Amino acid sequence: MTVFDYAPAPESRSVVDIRASYGLFINGEFTGGHGEPFKTINPADEGVLAEVACADESDVDRAVRAARAAYDKVWGPMPGAERAKYLYRIARIVQERSRELAVLESIDNGKPIRESRDVDVPLVAAWFFYYAGWADKLRHAGLGPAPKPVGVAGQVIPWNFPLLMLAWKIAPALACGNTVVLKPAETTPLTALLFADICRQAELPPGVVNIVTGAGETGAALVSHPGVDKVAFTGSTDVGRQIARTLAGTRKKLTLELGGKAANIVYQDAALDQAVEGIVNGIFFNQGHVCCAGSRLLVQESVAEEVLERLKARMATLRVGDPLDKNTDIGAINSAAQLARIRELTDAGQAEGAERWSPPCELPSQGFWFAPTLFTGVAQSHRIAREEIFGPVLSVLTFRTPEEAVTKANNTPYGLSAGIWTEKGSQILWTAQRLRAGVVWANTFNKFDPASPFGGYKESGFGREGGRHGLEAYLNA
């Protein structure tokens, strides 16, 4: 160890009690499933964490019936002010149990504790706190004088932000008077099941929140269940398309938060050190497992060399390793399948002629790891510039004029997010107006807040989550 190395600073796991096996959470009770149970593993060391029940069609049916009964008898008729208090309770318990939630999230997902502790869990509490306040003010939301809940919401969420996506889905749904059946991702079910315990501590009426674990088949059974009135999905564009097809011709409401291939535009007058920080945060936050990640860097040609030099120097300081170490910047890739997908696409990048670079970094021998990676000499036609990689991989392209930057940024079927770096306010507004993307971060990146709508244009899906706009998905106005 040299004098400047960091000593290990691991967060204690003792705050979390992981059970050997978990059931489904239906009608306020943990119950077995009729599917084949599956194991969830720690992506940092491939160790088995727990066995989890799998819901088949009959289990999904039980959950939907429980949600329907709770909607008809308890949650739907309840005054908004009372619903609000339950949501406030949940927000408070999340805050009280935040360390436990953060540690469990990092263990099950592989994300650094620094992020689960400082970003995910605080935002989860904020989301419940924010939507709690809407529950008794829905008539003032500008969505009509007498907005009504939709009924039973079927919600399917991804593995990249397991608890945060749960909060994005459940908080507005409950605030609006709906009940929910939520399916977490099969690789990251544990914090959702811990959330079930939080619902019990809050004494949320049985059936208001139901959690069915399983893989794609469980999700398909949920979205196609005739007792579901509204489907909300966050995940890949391909699965989103399938869900849209499944719902064709039905009366179910649908919102989709899908993939992205965000352009992060750096103009020559940008504050370059801040821009480099923003680029790093844009693509290496959460191992790049972020639908709105700034995965296409567009640098103005005149500063490209300098930006790349500073970016490489900054990347060399990123610490990859134990997610529970408080100094870790980049944790584990969530699964073997995702690691294989990242490898396939980066190999394609090399094969198509882009130049690959990673800082020297030693990866652990156990678990799923991928070094932060940079591609230069990228053409718009390359797969690494077109397809979502969902990993710590940045493709660098250049431009000469603002018009060219906007044209290249918009040259994608996606339209979720974008970044702009310049010191010139009029240039920010000019660029932001022309970008076909739902979230534009100017001189910052990857910021989230429950008061702020989030969602995409084009094939990044439809509907918005967050803010007043996020209520629309869960109300019939």
Partner 1 sequence: MPDRLSVRKTYKLYIGGAFPRSESGRSYPVTDSKGRFLANASHASRKDARDAVVAARKAFPGWSGRTAYNRAQILYRIAEMLEGRRDQFIDELRQAGASKGAAGTEVDAAVDRWVWYAGWADKLAAVTGAANPVSGPFFNFSTPEPTGVVAVVAPDSPLLGLVSVLAPVIVSGNTTVVIASEPAPLPSITLAEVLATSDLPGGVVNLLTGHRTEIAPWLAAHMDVNALDLAGALPEHVRELEDKAAGNLKRVLRPTGDDWAGEPGTARMTAFLETKTVWHPVGV
**Residues that are catalytic:** 257, 291
d(CA 352, CA 342): 15
Task: Pick the binder of partner 1 from 462, 473, 474, 475 (CB under 8 A).
Answer: 462
What span, in angstroms and rounded, lies between the C-alpha atoms of 269 and 443?
12
CB 173 within 8 A of CB 474: yes
Query: Which of 77, 249 has the CB closer to partner 1?
Result: 249
Q: Which of 59, 25, 17, 367 is nearest to 189 (CA)?
A: 25
C-alpha distances (whole Å) from 360 to each of 310, 313, 373 are: 16, 11, 11
Q: Which stretch binds partner 1 (CB under 8 A): 62-70, 217-225, 251-259, 372-380?
A: 251-259
Where does residue 92 fall: left (phi above 0), alpha (psi -120 to 50 degrees), or beta otherwise? alpha
Site membership for partner 1, residue 260 (CB under 8 A): no
Does residue number 83 form part of the binding site for partner 1 (CB under 8 A)? no
CB of residue 83 to partner 1, shortest distance in Å: 22
Please count the CA atoms within 13 angstroms of the CA of 258 that sit on its side-chain side: 23
Per CB under 8 A, 238 contacts partner 1: no
Binders of partner 1 among residues 378 to 437 (CB under 8 A) are 413, 428, 432, 435, 437
Strands 24-26 and 29-31: antiparallel
Sequence-ordered list of residues with C-beta below 8 angstroms from that of 376, at least 6 positions apart, any chain: 308, 354, 355, 357, 396
Instruction: Please identify, among the stretches 193-201, 215-223, 322-330, 438-446, the one whose residues bind partner 1 according to the rule CB under 8 A.
Output: 438-446
Stretch that binds partner 1, among 48-56, 147-155, 233-241, 380-388 (CB under 8 A): 233-241
54 within 8 A of 36, measured Cβ to Cβ: yes
Contact flag: residue 77 with partner 1 (CB under 8 A):
no
User: Which residues contact residue 449 at a Cβ distance below 8 angstroms, ignoring those fewer than 6 apart?
Assistant: 123, 126, 466
Stretch that binds partner 1, among 6-14, 105-113, 132-140, 248-256 (CB under 8 A): 248-256
- Burial class of residue 330 (count of CB atoms within 10 Å of its CB; 0-12, 13-18, 19+): buried
362 lies in the binding site for partner 1 (CB under 8 A): no
Looking at 239, 256, 270, 378, which residue binds partner 1 (CB under 8 A)? 256
Among 35, 110, 214, 438, interactor with partner 1 by CB under 8 A: 438
Options 206, 207, 321, 455; binder of partner 1; rule CB under 8 A: 455
- 467 touches partner 1 (CB under 8 A): yes
Find residue 457's DSSP bridge partners.
none
Number of residues interacting with partner 1: please give it, by CB under 8 A.
Answer: 43
Taking CB under 8 A as the criterion, the residue among 195, 284, 441, 474 binding partner 1 is: 441
Residue 261 in the binding site for partner 1 (CB under 8 A):
no
Contact between residue 176 and residue 208 where contact means Cβ atoms under 8 Å apart: no
Q: How far is C-alpha 287 from the geometric centre of its chain's CA atoms?
A: 12
CB of 114 or CB of 464, closer to partner 1: 464
User: Which DSSP category does 117 fall into?
Assistant: I
Window 122-181: residues binding partner 1 (CB under 8 A): 126, 142
The residue whose two tokens read 């727990």 is: 50
**Helix/strand/coil for 374:** strand
Residue 109 interacts with partner 1 (CB under 8 A): yes or no:
no
Residues 309, 386: Cα–Cα separation, whole Å: 25
Contact pick of 109, 237, 334, 373 for partner 1 (by CB under 8 A): 237
CB of 453 vs partner 1, minimal distance in Å: 5
Q: How far is the CB of 156 from partner 1 (least distance, A)?
A: 16
Interface ranges with partner 1 (CB under 8 A) = 126, 142, 237, 240-242, 244-245, 247-249, 251, 256, 258, 413, 428, 432, 435, 437-444, 447, 449, 451-455, 457-459, 461-462, 464, 467-469, 477
